[in-house]
């Protein structure tokens, strides 16, 4: 798959086994995203177990135990699924970006968690731009209200927006959804002039080409990399 150098490829490994992540990592992929806390944590534990096994083997065979201890530690994990506030501790310690902050309640909970744990969390505000009701995210009006009344929240750093286009073959609808998201990204960026807030996470396997044309900085690709989910 061809992407401009300015667009980051996020490999969405949800529903695929840990071994698939290892394969993609060995092929050079470094940014991965998961969408379910339980599944994510299981993969983190699988990674810890794999490292322990590699360290043991290195010690037995006189290999590089230090390298084994750090295996895959340069992965950047993103979270992209709906996150309940009681599951934060399963996710936040391990991720560098939560792309799916879709409510004020979650935003405040992430901030409180960051304060308690001394970690400033990078987040994206998930925006609702598709025709489907089921999708999570801030509407344009909710977003304006949130930004107007912004206060404190020293432990979240808003890096941009994330969204999904309507699931349809009609390219003009997809294009218009992505245009709406890019507009919302402008509004968010203007609200946080003090820091780097330029990310527009849009585009999945089926629509990433359009998303890139419309200004995406980050595409989230699952099935095109890993095959159909089971």
Question: Using CB under 6 A as the criterion, which residues of the chain lie in contact with ligand PLP when the complex forms?
Answer: 12, 14, 35, 80, 204-206, 220-224
Report, in Å, the least distance between residue 107 CB and ligand PLP. Answer: 18
Nearer to ligand PLP, 113 or 226 (CB): 226
- The CA distance from 193 to 197, in Å, is 8
Nearer to ligand PLP, 10 or 156 (CB): 10
Report, in Å, the least distance between residue 178 CB and ligand PLP. Answer: 14
Report, in Å, the least distance between residue 121 CB and ligand PLP. Answer: 18
Nearer to ligand PLP, 68 or 202 (CB): 202
C-alpha torsion 191→196→197→201, nearest 10: 180
β-bridge partners, 77: 32
Report, in Å, the least distance between residue 220 CB and ligand PLP. Answer: 4
Q: Which residues contact 228 (CB under 8 A, 6 or more apart)?
A: none
- The CA distance from 75 to 73, in Å, is 5
β-bridge partners, 101: 125
Q: Is there a contact between 18 and 47 (Cβ–Cβ < 8 Å)?
A: yes
- The CA distance from 177 to 190, in Å, is 20
Alpha helices (runs of H) in 75-170, residue ranges in sequence order: 88-91, 104-117, 140-148
Q: Which residue is nearest to ligand PLP (CB)?
A: 222
**Number of DSSP helices (H) and strands (E) in the chain, helices first:** 9, 8
Nearer to ligand PLP, 17 or 206 (CB): 206
Nearer to ligand PLP, 197 or 202 (CB): 202
Report, in Å, the least distance between residue 152 CB and ligand PLP. Answer: 28
Catalogue the E-assigned strands of 23-94: 31-34, 76-79
Report, in Å, the least distance between residue 205 CB and ligand PLP. Answer: 3
Nearer to ligand PLP, 31 or 224 (CB): 224
């Amino acid at each position: 798959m061809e992407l401009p150098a300015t667009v980051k490829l996020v490999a969405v490994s949800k529903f695929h086994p840990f071994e698939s992540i290892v394969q993609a990592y060995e092929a050079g992929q470094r940014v991965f995203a998961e969408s379910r806390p339980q599944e994510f944590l299981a993969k983190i534990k699988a990674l810890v177990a794999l490292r322990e096994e590699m360290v043991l083997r290195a010690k037995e065979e006189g290999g590089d135990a230090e390298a084994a201890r750090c295996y895959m530690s340069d992965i950047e994990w993103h979270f992209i699924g709906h996150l309940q506030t009681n599951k934060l501790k399963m996710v936040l310690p391990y991720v560098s970006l939560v792309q799916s902050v879709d409510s004020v309640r979650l935003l405040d909970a992430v901030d409180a968690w960051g304060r308690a744990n001394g970690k400033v969390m990078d987040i994206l505000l998930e925006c609702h731009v598709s025709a489907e009701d089921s999708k999570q995210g801030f509407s344009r009006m909710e977003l304006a209200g949130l930004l107007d009344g912004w206060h404190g929240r020293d432990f979240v750093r808003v890096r941009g927006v994330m969204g999904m286009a309507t699931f349809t073959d009609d390219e003009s609808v997809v294009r218009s959804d992505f245009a709406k998201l890019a507009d919302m990204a402008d509004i968010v960026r203007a609200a946080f002039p003090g820091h780097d807030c330029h990310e527009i996470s849009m585009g999945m396997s089926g629509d990433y080409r359009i998303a890139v044309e419309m200004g995406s900085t980050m595409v989230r690709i699952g099935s095109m990399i890993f095959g159909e989910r089971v």
